[in-house]
Amino acid sequence: MLFRTLSEGRMRLKALGNAFLFDHAPPDFVIEISQYVSQHRNALLFTTLSGTFDLKVPDSPIIPESARGVLAKDEHITFPQTFVASIPNARVLGDGTVIVGDNAILSNTTTDFHRKMEHHHLLYSLKLPKPEAYNGRLAVIASPGSDNYFHWTLDSIPRFHLLEHFSNHIDGYYVNTRHSFQREWLEWIGIPRNRIIPASENRHIIASELIVPSFAGLPGLPTAQGIDFIRSFMPPAAPSEGRRIYVSRADARRRRIVNEEQILPLLRAHRFEVVKPGTMTVCEQMRVFADATAVISPHGAELTNLVYCRPGTGVLEILSPYYLNPCFRLLSGMTGLRHTALVGDGGASVLKRQLDAHHVWSNIKVDLPKLEHALSLM
């Protein structure tokens, strides 16, 4: 609740500041793609996959059991149908939010963290930057959060897969380029630099035509086809007996293991080596996780790399009781990994109420006997 309150306060202050800087009207409402296309015959919708896909998440160990109500609340995950839309004279703003002709946010192609779409924060904005013109077909790859390694890899990259059959008809790509991992991916995918339109917070573009893919699954959880596309860029595997890795967040600002020095002797006794993915290239991270037979890590973007693990790899995810996010449990279910969740000390009242307090910055203290028990379940 505190995180959401602070986030809301920042948004309101930002909206006030933008009112003095900009002079363009914000969007008025939200519309779904099917409704928009039915009302505007010059917009086209291409369905890329028919039907839905139902994922039964395996029942995996959770310590303590009192955290199960939050971490295992989604027994089934149903993926929506994916699509690509072609929309004349549409706009893209900031993090990839698409605004269509009637000054409406296109709901199926974006998200607004911690809000329902009908309460999207842009509806409460006072002013937006004036849009710049783009003469051509502009594909929207950027999506909210995609300056984060997790959202970039699992939300943005699979959108390229949906556009594969349209690539010859695209003049430019609106995409995030701020970080080296983004630029590394763009080079692999083969997007020429002169066709990249860098996304930025206050960038607002009106294009002759926007080519807009949906998410290839749910935000933070691609379909099997999206995962296969991500994995298709993995380098060839080298012969190996496999590695047992512990992902350290000792240098991170949040979700560190505060008693890491105490747990390291136990992990080393179980033949785990310490790795720091944040110091590696994407290719190096792919190789390390593809070679792993067991992974232990506090919850964080580094676990995005589970998508590169071989089926059957054991995963022990260590979470704060104040931030119980099941995203990597679900990703493990999609990729056939053996996932165990270990919740750190504290938070008894939160666990009793079956709540995710969403304190994303909370560090974690690990109980050694519980860790040893969790290791036996991997």
Partner residues linked to 274 by β-bridges: 246
Q: Which residues of 42-77 are buried (b: 16+ CB within 10 A; e: fewer)?
A: ebebeebbeeebebebeebbbbeebbbebbbeeeeb
* Among 11, 111, 61, CA closest to 337: 61
Contact (CB, 8 A) for 130 and 37: no
* Among 141, 116, 56, 14, CA closest to 333: 56
Chain region(s) in the chain for CATH 3.40.50: 243-377
DSSP 8-state symbol, 257: B
Beta strands in the chain (DSSP E): 29-31, 44-47, 53-56, 62-63, 76-79, 83-93, 97-100, 104-106, 132-140, 172-175, 196-198, 204-213, 217-218, 221-222, 243-247, 273-275, 292-298, 314-319, 338-343
Say how far apart CA 49 and CA 208 lie, in whole Å: 26
- What is the residue whose two structure tokens read 């994407």? 282
Say how far apart CA 96 and CA 146 lie, in whole Å: 9
Partner residues linked to 343 by β-bridges: 319
Q: What is the pTM of this model?
A: 0.90
Say how far apart CA 334 and CA 227 lie, in whole Å: 9
Say how far apart CA 330 and CA 308 lie, in whole Å: 15
Cα angle 173, 300, 302 (rounded to 5 degrees) comes to 65
Two tokens, residue 18 = 């933008």
pLDDT tens, residue order, the chain (378 aa): 544 555 555 555 564 555 455 557 889 999 999 999 999 988 888 877 655 667 777 789 999 999 999 998 876 788 888 999 999 999 999 999 999 988 999 998 998 887 888 888 888 887 899 999 999 999 999 999 999 999 999 999 999 999 988 888 999 999 999 999 999 999 999 999 999 999 999 999 999 999 999 999 998 999 999 999 999 999 987 767 789 999 999 988 889 999 999 999 999 999 999 999 999 999 999 999 999 999 999 999 999 999 999 999 999 999 999 999 999 999 999 999 999 999 999 988 888 888 788 888 899 999 999 999 999 988
CATH code reported for the domain at 243-377: 3.40.50
Q: Which residues contact 67 (CB under 8 A, 6 or more apart)?
A: 319, 321, 324, 341, 343, 351
**What is the reported pLDDT for 102?**
84
pLDDT tens profile 180-239: 999 999 999 999 999 999 999 999 999 999 999 999 999 899 999 999 999 999 998 776
Burial class (CB in 10 A: 0-12, 13-18, 19+), 99: buried
Q: Supply φ then ψ for residue 162, to 5 degrees.
A: -65, -25
Q: Supply φ then ψ for residue 21, to 5 degrees.
A: -90, -35
Cα angle 221, 224, 225 (rounded to 5 degrees) comes to 110
Look up residue 378 and give its amino acid: M
Say how far apart CA 280 and CA 40 lie, in whole Å: 47
